[in-house]
Each structure stands twice: as structure tokens, then as C-alpha cells.
Structure 1
Amino acid sequence: MAQSWSFLDVCESDFRPLVVIELAKSAKAETVEWFTKRIVDKKAKGGAQLLVKPLLTEKEGENIYLVGASHLRLLLGAETVGLVKKCSDNSMRTFTYSSRKTFKDFADDNHDFLTMAECQYIIKHELENLRAKDEKMIPGYPQAKLYPGKSIVRRLLTSGILVQIFPLHDREELKKLCHSWYGRVKVGYQPLDDVRCYFGETIALYFAFLEYFTFALIPMAVIGIPYYVFAWEDYDKYVMFATFNLLWSTVILEVWKRVCATMTYRWGTLLMKRQFEEPRPGFHGVLGIHPVTGREEPVYSSIKRQLRIYLVSLPFVCLCLYFSLYVMMIYFDLEEWALDYHEENDSNLSSLMLFVPSIIYAVVIEVMNRIYRYAAELLTSWENHRLESSYQNHLILKVLVFNFLNCFASLFYIAFVLFDMHLLRQGTFDDYLELFLQFGYVSLFSCVYPLAAVFAVLNNITEIYSDALKMCNIYKRPFAEPTANIGVWQLAFETMTVISVVTNCVLIGMSPQVSALFPDSKMEHVLTVALVEIFFDPVELGIDAKEWLSWVRSRVCLQQRPREECTSIATI
């Protein structure tokens, strides 16, 4: 194979490998030559204008190539993707090549102006935007059809010709990061700026949120330990803990928003213009002109996408949720059968039978989660979202709703249908999903099991070190993805906060102290009043507070007494 196009008039000593492309061993020579030529071709010819060099390995037949780019190409790419950098006056602005001299630490010979993660992100962006023009098929593979606008990388992946694309590690930088991150046991913050420079903003924000959430759990853990030791069995005392839970779950997410905004502004991703985000490789459609960017790219009707979402995906998710609830009710029936069997026989075998329903339910839930996750990925891909962020948001929401129902539906049933606080104290303990479920356990029902926060803190401390170890030594290095926040997970946690407010208010309404205020009222009436007070603010509605309280009292009273008596009670 000719090597003349591999360096683009750049000497070999200037070549800095950043990304690895592995093609199938059986890939045909004409296919490899065509693909690598498209990578190095000029932008005007539909290429990526990058550098490619074959990697010589001891294993025969391997098709592995190293991809890099000249310093000038990377700077132009930084402008294309809209990277935000710090200027000499300490302001943050979108990088442009024409004004490069105004940016802090910029010099023509300073190749460290862009981090390695940013350089790899630029190369990934250029590779993913290699799209077919006049080609009708992949050369050498007539069955691998192409049409104008189709992502070449995506077609090569789905056809099995392209095995994988991944960024290279920098051994020296990785060694330094490992030592400062998890190489020694210390009490302190993580080197998040270093993590961001090496792995990108998405990974750094995850570890930042994990660290923040761990510190935020400490007050709940500190209060939970003495509460567990001295007042756990006293049902009358959980009102105070539930009240603190209300404030805690609301405040921590508001503080996180500020912490996150401060951090991402310093990193430059808060100001990135996401409206110019390029289409994801899996997006397909008729080649056209995007109305905002003016660039040639696939176009797909948003109406068709919405029809797929609401007429296919949404009914499927609802059906899965119904099936999950049905399985949960079967589990409770099995629990009741096991208890009856144990009471009748009272033997070693019957004692073991008490654990069988829980084991079966846990296995079934795990199988259901895996099947649902696979189906959710297929559906979300079929919906044909233009942006990777939109694709991820829809996928996360599907998985999140199903996992929330699986994990917490039984707890809600025990708490608010069976009213069994003792049974509620027995519950079970992909990264953000684990934190989300953990937040649910702490914010929803920790007032009846106060050690939940303690175990969560211990788990998260272990999680920080183990996840750092996996990122540096076990997992393949991921491509950096600039992001300004934790995305749809912020909405998920905020939704959980609203649910936790309702849950804790209802638990307070069920307490003996609050019930004593309404001695003649049934439990459901007390809960109704609590929920009314949560969702309807008389001040916002322009209603006098005294009139509002009078109306609430009369509504509760009418359930128990004649109207004449209620009229006098309402005026108290």
C-alpha cells in the first residue's frame, strides 16, 4: 500500500499519534486504501485532512492505524467544534484561529495549548463527520450500501469492517494522574482539573458529582447514627428526621447547580454553543442543508421522529412498567404464601422458604433490567435522533423510569398501602444510575432506616477509588465529551427531590404527632390535607392564609361530622 498520503508533507518526527483505528483482519485492501485516503484527503474533497500511519505489530494480518493531526489542523478543528478557552484578560471566549494571539498561554510552538483529550475529541469529531458523497457502496463490499450523507464510520462499524476507534493513553501523564488521584490514601478533594484534562469534562463531572454527593451525605449520616442508636425503634421520633430530610434533599441539588456552573465555566464548557453540535454517526436521512449551520448533512423529519416516540416507544415503556408492577404483586403473593407455610410447618425447610421469594424476585428483576435495557437501546436508535445528547437523554429517561419503578415500587406499596413501617426497614442497596438509586433510598425512606446515609457514604468513598482505578488501568480510555452539566441526570435528581418531598410529608402526616391534631379524622383524610398543603400555596394563589386554613379544616371535618358542627370548627 502506498505511504505517500500518510503524512501530508509533514516529516515523520512531527507525527503525534492520538487515536487508534482497528480494521477487521479480513478487510480488503481496496477498502482499507479507500478509507485511509478519505481520512487524509483535504476538506474540500470530503476528507478529514488528518494524518495516518500504519502500526506494525508482531501479529500477522492486523489492520491497525494510528491517526494524528498537524498543530495547525488541530487549531482549526478547535474553532470548528467551538472550544472555549481563557483569554489574556481572564475572560472565557470561543477560540478562533484568527484571534489566537489573544488567548492565554498561546504560542505557535506551544503544542500544549490544547489538552490531549481536546485533540482526541477534535479527531473523533472529524472522523465521525466523514460522510458519503457519490459512493453507492463501500469499495470491495457491494452489500454495504451507501447514500449521500451516510456516515462512513457508522457503515463500516455496522458492516464489521471497522472493529473499533479509541484514543491512546499518554503513559507519563497517566502515571502522574494515578499517583495524585488514587495512588495514596488521603483525606481531601480529587484532582478534578487533572482528570478533566486527561479524560474530558464528562468523566470529570461524574467524579465531581460523586465527591459532592458523598460530602452532602455526611450530615445525614452524622444525624442518622445517634438517631438509629437512641430513637430508631420509637416511631414517634421519625418526624424530626423526615423534616430534616425535606430540607436536605432540596438544598443539596440547588448548591450543586452553582458548584457545577462554577466548575464548567472555568473549564470553558458552560459557554460552548451546543446548537452547532454535529449529527451523531447513527443519524440518517436525506442529504440536505441544515437551516442553522448552513452545512450539508442528513435531514430527517422531526414529525416522523415524534410519531415513533409517542406511538411506539411510549406505549412499549408503559407496557413494560405494567409488567414490572404485575411481577411485583406476584412477589408479594409469594411472600404471603411463604409466611403462611412457615407458620403452618415451623421447620428448617419452612425457614429457608422465607428467603425464596426475595431470591426469585431479585433474579427476575435483574433479567428484566437487562432485557429492557437492550430493547430501550434499539428503540432509541430507531427513533433516529440527530444529536448524541438527544439520543442519550431519551435512552437515560427510558432506563431511569424502569429502574425507578423496579427499585422503589415495592417500598411505596409497603409504606402507603400496607402501612408496615417495620417491613419498610428491610430494602436492597452504571454509575449515575447507582447514585440516583442511592439518592432515592436516602431521600425517600431514610427516616425509617437512618443508617442508609452511613452506608451510602462508605460505599461512595470506596466507589471513588475503585472507579478511578478502573478508569486508569482497566477500562479503555474514552473519548472526551465537552459538557456543561450532568445532563438529564440533573432533571432525574430534581424529580426524585419532588417525590421525596411528597413522601416525607406523607410520612409526617402518618406520624402519631400529626394524627393527634386530627383525632376524629381517618388517616387518608390527614394525608389528603398534607398533600393539598404541598401542592397548593395559598399565597401564590392570592388566597388569605386564614381563609385557606378554614377551608381545609372544614373539608376534613365534613368527612366525619354534620355540616352545622363543621361551620363552627372552621372559624376557630
Structure 2
Amino acid sequence: MDEIKEVHTPYEMGVVVPKKVSDQIGEGYGHDCVEVLVAQFHRVGLIVDRVVGLHDEFLKLLAPVEILGKAAAELQLKKRTHIGVDIQFEWDEAEAFIRQADGSFFSWCERFRCYNHMIYGIVNKSESAIILKSNCRDVRWEPGESLVWKLETEAIVKEVFPLHDEIKRKQLLKCWALNWWDLTNQPIDEIYAYYGTKLLVIPFFFICIISWAVLFFQFWKRKNSTLLARWQISYSVGAESAYKYMDMEWSSFHSSVGLVKKWGDGKAEDKENFQREEWSGRMMRFRNDAIIILSIICLQLPFELAYAHLYESIRSDIMKFGLTAIYLFAIQYFTQFGGKVSVKLIKDEQNENSEYRANSLVYKVFGLYFMQSYIGILYHAILHRNFMTLRQVIIQRLIISEVLENLMENSLPYIKYSYRKYRAVRNKRKREKGPSGRKSYFNSRVEKEYFKPMYSASVGEELEDGLFDEFLELALQFGMIMMFACAFPPAFAFAALSNVAEIRADALKILAMYRRPVPRVAATIGAWLNIFQFLIVVSICTNCVLLACLYDREGKWDISPGLAAILIMEHVLLLIKFGFSRIVPEEPDWVKANRMKNATQAQNMCSKQLLRNISGGRGAFVTGTQKTD
């Protein structure tokens, strides 16, 4: 990458606008769009630094802590106080609230929400429309209309995106991405602060792996509760309703408030309306799930079984390779199409917030990938009992696909960035029609970040970010090595080496090759936790079936001592899986006590305030009655 010449400044947001071609303000009425935008940013208290790039102009924004505090108060953000109670933030009482680990009042996720509130909260407060000009165009800024939203619809504001903090980014590069001495260590707190918030030997090996997976996920949930308490994120384990408003969109929030306002004094028609909307939403989700399930059964299942049968029937290795290449090309198109259909179906569902919609998308898309990844392998294992072919397919899927996917996901972002940068410089040279040095044009950090690709999901950036693909890759790998542990035990060694290398590769990719991701509030990993637990249960069943196939090669399926031992082992492992979830608590006692203390103190404070209001109102009522008499 080019050497950055810009001195570090802690600007956190960037706005991309077109460069001014000519001075048109003197030619008639109207105000220059960019000048008005900058003036409005100054008016709300933002510090603006204007940087001229190759084709566009970049506005770097920074908000002083006082401005962020006032925006947080307008958003009614709840923050933890020194007595352990979450209360709506008030700037005048800022010292009553606990600071972050780095001494700041707000986390990056909270700051991002405040920036969005200030940037998109600039509206025309006059009674008439304001005419704005931008390079031979007139734009009407209507009363009550958001300025940035209006300019985005007119393609004047091209993008609003978060900027990297170079000092913190380099610290993370040193202690995370480039820290090869401690292979598995990850600075969780620093990452959160910066980014915000997926034979006897064979049975014994299989039992150990299942036990490890069960304990790992149970203790992961316990660790998750500890981190939520440390990062002051309110979430009650086992109750999704406790955090369903953390990432609610404004439209959803206002619609819920409107429903509450419509609720009268318990009238029958109000109750019927609520029940009608509730059941219509449930039926819509049921219909969408049925469409996806039937598509998998009627379309993808025959396709996968046909490929597995042809692969088993063909004797030539060259033809097998060609068939696999055709299959991979076709299945990529099929899964992408299925993902787009899932996104469209979810838009019609009446989900409560973006986290529920994201979970619904995860379940639907993973169903497509689950069928693609495992049905052919199960066909080789159970129907044909060809364990040599089974091992070949597992090696193909793990080694070839993992290597190719890592190469693609780590090289494509840099190729896209280099190509966009090359095109921008070439177009600049063509317009100027003269030789010029490349570095003289491309020397601002904000423009380099603008040319970097977004960290978005392959199924679309509306509901998920790039973590969707990371979790999907891990879930498919986890299912591969767990569901077929008896067939190919060395797969675990390859997965361990691959994941250790991927920790550093993904850290380097996120820090250096992508823009700073937009923070998304989430208290857990959502649907992915249920998927991992589902894979553990399925792996118990599939491995027991594999052991039975190894034991009973003739297919007589007699209940002999060996087969009976396998069936008993299956039931014992299922008992261990569900028993560990009861033995190992998901939430440490100190976290539970802290949460209960918070809830009790908040309830006491609300009760006392309610009593004061009732007493004051009753006193005023009595006084008014006496005066009337």
C-alpha cells in the first residue's frame, strides 16, 4: 500500500461529496450544496476538515465530547451509573455515569449512533423550501426534510462511512494481527472498543470430541455473559426480549409507539387488532420458512443426490474433477440465488427488529448451505458405505475449499482497492491530458479509505455485515469435522492449523484491507449459537451411524452386543450434551447478582418517583378542591 503522508487526526466519520466545478452562486438564486452542508455541520457542533481528492471532496467529521453527550441525551441512551443502575444519559449529570476503559464516556457503537443522529438530524426548520445548487443542478430542500438524506437521494452525498483511527488501528495490528508469538490470544476488550459489538480408538476419539464441543459452547456462553457485564451491555440470559430494542430501527420503534398510543382502555377491538397483527406476522414467517424448506427438498436435494450418484458411478478421476468443477459453479449460483430470495422474503416478515430479521436470514441461508455441504457426504457414507470416497470428498471440501476461500477472501479486497485506485488516477490523467505523478494525486488517507471495499455480507449488506460469511465458513467447517469425526480424524489437526492462521489473516484483512465496519449492536452471536448446538446433536447421530456402518458392513443390522453398544453410546452422549447445559451455568453468579441488583435498584427508584408523583398530584387535587369550596 502507498505510504500515508497525512498527519494523524482523530476524525471518525467521512462524507463524500462531488468536487466543485465552477462558482455558480453569483449566477442566480440558491446556495451551494456543499457549503450549506458544511455550515450545518458546524451549526450542530461538528468539527469539519475538507479534503480534496481525485474526483470527489471528503468532509472528515469529529464531534467534541460535549456535543456527543447532548446527542446521547437526545437519543435517550441508557448508560450504567456508579451505583450500578442503567439510566438515560444526561450531559449535565455526566459524572454520575461510568466511563469506558480508555476514559471516554461513550463506546464506539454509542458514538456512531450519535454521529448518525447529528448527521441525519439536520432538517430545514424554515417555513419555505430552500434552493440548493450543485454543479448546474438545483435541489429543493423542503421544510422538515433531512438535508443529508435529500442530498443522498440526489446523489450529491455519495456516501457516509466511519473512518479508521490510525493510532488505535496500528496498536491492534501490533497486538492482534501481527502477534504471532501468542497464537490463540486475541485482545477482546481492545477489539470491542474499536469495532463495537460464529476399533476402540475411533469411538474414544469421537466421545472426546463431542464432550469438548459441548463444554466449549457451554463455557463460551458463560464467557459471553462475563463480557456483557464488563462492557456494560444489558442482556438477560435466556430471554430474547431483554435485548430486542437494543438495535431497533426508528421506523419499527415509532410503529410500536404508535400501537401503544392506539391502545385504549382495554376495548375489544384493540385486542382483536393486536391479535390479528400478531398472528398475521407469525403466518407470514411460517409461509416464508415453508417456501425455503420446500425449495430445498424439491430443488436442491435431487440436485445434490444426482451429483453424489454420478460421482460414485464415474471411474475416471479426470471426469470426476470436471464434474466437481461444474457442480461447484452451479451450486454457487444456486446458493446466491437462494440468499437473495431469502432476503426478499424477510422484508415481508413482521419481525420486531433488525436482529430478529438477521436471525431469520441466517437460518434460511444456512439451510441451503447445510444441504449443499453434507447431503452428498452422507450419501457416500450411509447408502454406498464407501469410506475411501467419503475421505476423498472430506479432504476435497476441507483442504481445497479452505485454501481457495482464504486466498480469495484475502486477495479480492486488495485487488478491488487497487483497481478502483488505478481507475481514479487514470481518469484524472485523461481529463488533465498531461503526464503527472501518481502519488501527487493519491495522498489523503480519507480518500484511500473511501476506495477500500465495505465489510459486507455476500447475501447483502442490509441485514448483515462481513461476519455473516465468517460465521458461515466456521459453521460449515465445524459441521464437517464434527459430523464425520469417525471417518477422517486428521481433519481436526488441519482445522486447528487453519483456524490459527485465519485468526491473524482475518485481523489483518479487517484492519488493513476493508473500511472500518459499521458497528452493529448484538448481545450474542444470535442464530449461529443455535446452529452450532444443532450441529453437535446431528454429529452425535451421524457418527453413531458411521460406527454402525463400520461394525455391520454386511447390512444385516442385527442387535448384537457391538451394535447395541453403539446405540447406548448415542443415548449417553445425548444425555451428556443436555446434562452439561444444566450442570454448567450459562451465567456466573456475580453477573447474575449484579443484574438483579441493577433491576431492583431501578425498580425502587421508579416506585419512589411514582409515589412522589401520585402524592403531589393528590395534594394539588385536594388544594384545588378546597379553593373551589
Maintained 8 Å contact 2:79/2:97: no
Aligned to 1:163: 158
Amino acid at match of 1:114: F
Aligned to 2:257: 289
Q: 1:122 aligns with which of 114, 123, 132?
A: 114
Aligned to 2:512: 473
Maintained 8 Å contact 1:117/1:480: yes
Corresponding position: 1:197 with 2:197: no
Give me the identity figure in percent. 22
Aligned to 1:322: 298
Q: Which moved more, 1:93-102 or 1:456-465?
A: 93-102
Aligned to 1:113: 105
C-alpha deviation, 1:468, in angstroms:
1.0
Aligned to 1:215: none
Maintained 8 Å contact 2:483/2:542: yes
Corresponding position: 1:389 with 2:382: no
Amino acid at match of 2:94: R
C-alpha offsets along residues 139-160 of structure 1, whole Å, 9 cap, x if unaligned? Answer: 8899x99999999877865765
Amino acid at match of 2:190: D
Aligned to 1:69: 63
Aligned to 1:413: 379
CA distance in 2, matches of 1:514, 1:34: 79
Maintained 8 Å contact 2:122/2:147: yes
SS of the counterpart of 1:431? helix
CA distance in 2, matches of 1:93, 1:468: 33
Corresponding position: 1:96 with 2:96: no
Q: How many residues align?
A: 465
Maintained 8 Å contact 1:236/1:512: no
Amino acid at match of 1:66: K
SS of the counterpart of 2:314? helix
Q: 1:179 aligns with which of 170, 174, 183?
A: 174
Structure 1 residues 287 and 264: alpha-carbon distance in aligned structure 2, compared to 1, 3 A threshold? closer
C-alpha deviation, 1:389, in angstroms:
1.2
Structure 1 residues 146 and 251: alpha-carbon distance in aligned structure 2, compared to 1, 3 A threshold? farther
Maintained 8 Å contact 1:380/1:394: yes
Structure 1 residues 189 and 532: alpha-carbon distance in aligned structure 2, compared to 1, 3 A threshold? closer
C-alpha deviation, 1:88, in angstroms:
4.8
CA distance in 1, matches of 2:127, 2:553: 73
Q: Which moved more, 1:431-440 or 1:309-318?
A: 309-318
Structure 1 residues 280 and 104: alpha-carbon distance in aligned structure 2, compared to 1, 3 A threshold? closer
C-alpha deviation, 1:101, in angstroms:
2.2
Amino acid at match of 1:280: E
C-alpha deviation, 1:254, in angstroms:
0.4
Structure 1 residues 288 and 183: alpha-carbon distance in aligned structure 2, compared to 1, 3 A threshold? closer
Maintained 8 Å contact 1:34/1:139: no
> How large is the Cα RMSD of the aligned pairs?
4.9
Q: Which moved more, 1:148-157 or 1:409-418?
A: 148-157
Aligned to 1:268: 232
Q: 1:238 aligns with which of 202, 206, 213?
A: 202
Q: Which moved more, 1:133-142 or 1:392-401?
A: 133-142
Structure 1 residues 59 and 363: alpha-carbon distance in aligned structure 2, compared to 1, 3 A threshold? closer
Amino acid at match of 1:470: K
Structure 1 residues 525 and 111: alpha-carbon distance in aligned structure 2, compared to 1, 3 A threshold? closer
Counterparts of 1:432-447 in structure 2, within 5 Å, are 432-447=471-486
Counterparts of 1:546-561 in structure 2, within 5 Å, are none
CA distance in 2, matches of 1:84, 1:180: 29
C-alpha deviation, 1:96, in angstroms:
2.8
Structure 1 residues 157 and 94: alpha-carbon distance in aligned structure 2, compared to 1, 3 A threshold? same
C-alpha deviation, 1:474, in angstroms:
0.8
SS of the counterpart of 1:354? helix
Q: Which moved more, 1:188-197 or 1:247-256?
A: 188-197
Counterparts of 1:212-231 in structure 2, within 5 Å, are none
Structure 1 residues 327 and 527: alpha-carbon distance in aligned structure 2, compared to 1, 3 A threshold? farther
* Runs (5+) with no aligned partner, structure 2: 1-8, 22-29, 237-241, 263-273, 399-468, 580-629
Maintained 8 Å contact 1:51/1:68: yes
Maintained 8 Å contact 2:305/2:379: no
Q: 1:331 aligns with which of 307, 314, 318?
A: 307
Corresponding position: 1:458 with 2:422: no
Amino acid at match of 2:168: E
Maintained 8 Å contact 1:246/1:504: no
C-alpha offsets along residues 499-557 of structure 1, whole Å, 9 cap, x if unaligned? Answer: 122223333444539999985669999988887888899xx9xxxxxxxxxxxxxxxxx
Maintained 8 Å contact 1:269/1:482: no
Q: Which moved more, 1:164-173 or 1:523-532?
A: 523-532
CA distance in 2, matches of 1:149, 1:390: 31
CA distance in 2, matches of 1:380, 1:139: 39
Amino acid at match of 2:303: V
Aligned to 2:542: 503
CA distance in 1, matches of 2:39, 2:289: 40
Larger RCO of the pair (alpha carbons < 8 Å, separation 6+): 2
C-alpha offsets along residues 297-350 of structure 1, whole Å, 9 cap, x if unaligned? Answer: xx99555544443334641453145322121122123224422xxxxxxxxxx4
CA distance in 2, matches of 1:519, 1:149: 78
Q: Which moved more, 1:125-134 or 1:114-123?
A: 125-134
Corresponding position: 1:352 with 2:352: no
Amino acid at match of 2:189: D
Q: 2:367 aligns with which of 380, 397, 401?
A: 401
Maintained 8 Å contact 2:76/2:88: no
SS of the counterpart of 1:113? coil
CA distance in 2, matches of 1:36, 1:527: 72
Structure 1 residues 459 and 288: alpha-carbon distance in aligned structure 2, compared to 1, 3 A threshold? closer
C-alpha deviation, 1:459, in angstroms:
0.7
SS of the counterpart of 1:166? strand
CA distance in 2, matches of 1:71, 1:514: 71
C-alpha offsets along residues 114-135 of structure 1, whole Å, 9 cap, x if unaligned? Answer: 3455423432355567899999
Aligned to 1:376: 342
CA distance in 1, matches of 2:571, 2:515: 51
C-alpha deviation, 1:266, in angstroms:
0.7
Structure 1 residues 118 and 324: alpha-carbon distance in aligned structure 2, compared to 1, 3 A threshold? same
Amino acid at match of 2:249: R
Maintained 8 Å contact 2:123/2:145: yes
Structure 1 residues 26 and 457: alpha-carbon distance in aligned structure 2, compared to 1, 3 A threshold? farther
Maintained 8 Å contact 1:121/1:479: no
TM-score (norm 2): 0.61
Amino acid at match of 2:187: P
SS of the counterpart of 1:477? coil
Aligned to 2:287: 311
Corresponding position: 1:57 with 2:52: yes
Maintained 8 Å contact 1:77/1:122: yes
SS of the counterpart of 2:114? helix
Structure 1 residues 250 and 534: alpha-carbon distance in aligned structure 2, compared to 1, 3 A threshold? closer
C-alpha offsets along residues 372-414 of structure 1, whole Å, 9 cap, x if unaligned? Answer: 2233233333446452212211221221111111111112222
Amino acid at match of 2:233: T
CA distance in 1, matches of 2:567, 2:141: 60
Amino acid at match of 1:260: N
C-alpha deviation, 1:253, in angstroms:
0.7
SS of the counterpart of 1:277? coil
C-alpha offsets along residues 350-382 of structure 1, whole Å, 9 cap, x if unaligned? Answer: 442232222222222222222222332333334
